[in-house]
Amino acid sequence: MAVQRMDNVGIVVNDLPATIAFFRELGLELEGQATVQGNWAERVTGLSDMRVEVAMMRTPDGHSRLEISRFLTPPAVADHRNAPVNALGYLRVMFAVDDIDETLTRLREHGAELVSSEVVQYEDVYRLCYIRGPEGLLIGLAQELG
């Protein structure tokens, strides 16, 4: 049996409203929000007394989703938001954008900062950058050229 699709990428944050606003500005659509708790959720996560606020956001093409979570209980236990791009584990989420400069201008109003000091060009194919979004989340932006 083959994988049908990648359903979503999960991100844990402290400030859910600010993170939702950031990704809305990027162009994602809020599908819904809910509080998740109960025996089934505890069994799937392995966390006791789990209660989490979840927002599901969808890319404009409808193919990809971000599940943004804020744990009420138990509290978050590790923080890798400011880890360098060569840290082990999940690195970043990359988004294709129409205009990288315009996107950066809008996202800076939500606290986004370039990881390096510039947007770089890869041959005549892409303009690329990494940014730190809300709470230090590492996000890639790619603008296809041509």
Considering the domain architecture, whether residues 100 and 55 belong to the same structural domain is answered as no
In which band, very low, low, confident or very high, does the pLDDT at 104 lie, cut at 50, 70 and 90? very high
- b/e per residue 61-73 (b: at least 16 CB within 10 A): eeebbbbbbbbee
Confidence bin at 3 (pLDDT 50/70/90): confident
Judge if 58 and 104 occupy the same domain. no
23 and 65 part of one domain: yes
Q: What is the mean pLDDT of residues 113-129?
A: 93
Give the mean pLDDT of 26-48: 93
For the stretch 129-144, pLDDT in tens is 999 998 888 899 999 9
CB atoms within 10 A of CB 112: 22
Q: Is residue 79 part of a domain?
A: no
Q: What share of the chain is helix, strand, coil (3-state, %, to 5)?
A: 20, 35, 45
The count of structural domains within the chain is 2
Task: Specify if 87 maps to a domain.
Answer: no
Give the span between the Cα atoms of 102 and 80, in whole angstroms: 28
| DSSP 8-state assignment for residue 17 | H
Polymer length in residues for the chain: 146
Model pTM?
0.88
State which residues form the domain around 106: 93-144
Question: Domain with 37 in it: what CATH number?
Answer: 3.10.180.10
Beta bridge mates, 38: none
**In the predicted model, what is the mean pLDDT of residues 89-99?**
88
Residues sharing a CB contact under 8 Å with residue 51, sequence separation 6 or more, in sequence order: 35, 36, 37, 71, 72, 73
> Are 98 and 131 in the same domain?
yes
∠ CA 130-83-132, nearest 5°, is 30
Pair 18, 48 in one domain: yes
Percent of the chain, pLDDT > 70? Answer: 99
The Cα–Cα gap between 60 and 74 comes to 33
**pLDDT tens-digit map of 56-91:** 999 999 999 999 999 999 988 888 877 888 887 777
Regarding whether 109 and 62 lie in a shared domain, the answer is no
Domain-located, residue 21: yes
- Strand ranges across the sheet with 29-37: 9-12, 65-73, 51-58, 29-37
pLDDT at position 85 is: 81
Question: Do 69 and 97 fall within a single domain?
Answer: no
Q: What pLDDT is attached to residue 89? A: 77
pLDDT at 1 over 70: no
Does residue 78 form part of some domain?
Answer: no
